[in-house]
Amino acid sequence: MSRRDLDQLSLASQLRSRVFARGPNFDALITSDPDHVGYLTGYRSMSSDMNRYYPIAAVATADDAILIVSAGDAPPAREVVGQAVMTYGRFFVMQDGAFQPSDADEERSFGVAIVQAVNRLCGPRATVGLDCTGLSAHDVRSVIQRDLPDLRTVSASQWLRDCRRTKLPGEIGQLRRAAHLLERGIEAALAAAEPGVTERYIAARIASAVVEGGGVPRSLAVTSGPRSALVDAYAAERELQPGDLLRLDLSCTFQGYWADMARTAVIEGPSPLQRQYFDAISSGLAAQREILRAGIEARRLFDVAVEATRGNGIPHYRRHHCGHGIGVTINEFPVLSPENTAVLESGMVLCIETPLYAAGWGGMMTEDIVEVTDTGWYPITELSRHLHVCTGGRAEVLAS
């Protein structure tokens, strides 16, 4: 088992301890949500990434966890969690010249694996918190009703989401590592951006940097010129032209934790209007950073961002939100929207943003990741947030 895997296990153990220390009225947790399986065990499944109907689950207590995966998923799972894996189904691999089931000791169904894991960790008469929010939820509930009739169950889905609002230091380290990978990708993209280069070529440079650093590329919205106004669009074969905006809105994961950030460049130099609009949205982000701290309402960050953007060059600016939490999913509590009265807490991690999308003209944005503290905030993304100018394989920044 590698040091990286030990770190994942150690963090999962800390998270389980925190979840149960916060006083839930249950002895164990059962989750079929792939994100929460990873949160409580440390294992992130490629099978689950590829197939949203893939049955995966975990049974966890404060001190232990059993991961339930298919027989084919067991070898990579054991690389991370060791022998705390219970499998279902059958998958054949060749051993000593013959094909054998990968888990030849016992072939279970998904339901039997859940029952056995419950009996091993907490017993059939325990009180169990249920987090049946994944697409295997019906299977889990059916198994409990049929085969564990004396199990007392309470809903735990909201409990787990509440526990995820603030991050442990180890989680912030994973978020920082994910952000670092995107920053290296952006640096590679900006160095490659020049007239004649395609959006897809730029996206490939970003993906390569993320993979080389041990991350998983997720959304790579690399769009240019008029296409930069398209929200969450895949990169195309469009070639960059002088004067184009190049909008990079990117996400990746590292050991299950997300980074989501954006930067904007212009090819060979901005027009006055491009500069005006970029300065306006930058002032919105600056206004957020100025007041950001634990104890303020989420909607206050939205209000100051929109007010500053309107007052500094885009008087008609409108948005539905100006940021969101991030962690083991890309969009977490809280959303920085005009209606959200939630109060920020120290240890929350937020993405703050003021995007601009102008159909037929282009789009631009800067999105940063920050850790909320009692007295302010601490940066997780550190790459320059100024407008980048790409000329002949060289990128420079234009200070406001």
In angstroms, the CA 336 to CA 381 distance is 18
* Nearest residue to 400 via CA among 316, 317, 313: 313
In the structure, what pLDDT confidence band is assigned to residue 368 with cuts at 50, 70 and 90?
A: very high
Output the pLDDT for position 103: 63
* Nearest residue to 248 via CA among 190, 314, 196, 184: 190
Q: Which residue has the higher pLDDT, 94 or 82?
A: 82
In angstroms, the CA 35 to CA 43 distance is 10
In the structure, what pLDDT confidence band is assigned to residue 132 with cuts at 50, 70 and 90?
A: confident
For tokens 């990434």, the residue is 49
Q: Which residue has the higher pLDDT, 206 or 53?
A: 206
pLDDT for residue 38 is more than 90: yes
Output the pLDDT for position 22: 85
Token output for 248:
């990079």
In angstroms, the CA 104 to CA 11 distance is 31
Instruction: Return the half-sphere exposure (C-beta side, CA atoms, 13 A cut-off) of residue 47.
Output: 16
Return mean pLDDT, the chain.
Answer: 92
Output the pLDDT for position 198: 97
Domains of the chain plus CATH, in order, are 3-163 (3.40.350.10), 169-398 (3.90.230.10)
The average pLDDT across 110-131 equals 93
In the structure, what pLDDT confidence band is assigned to residue 101 with cuts at 50, 70 and 90?
A: low
DSSP conformation letters of 15-26 = HHHHHHHT--S-
CB–CB of 235/241 below 8 Å? no
The average pLDDT across 128-137 equals 79
- Residue 122 CB partners (closer than 8 Å, separation 6+): 27, 28, 59, 61, 128
| Each residue's pLDDT tens digit, 266-282 | 999 899 999 999 999 99
pLDDT for residue 99 is more than 70: no
In angstroms, the CA 400 to CA 394 distance is 20
In the structure, what pLDDT confidence band is assigned to residue 4 with cuts at 50, 70 and 90?
A: low
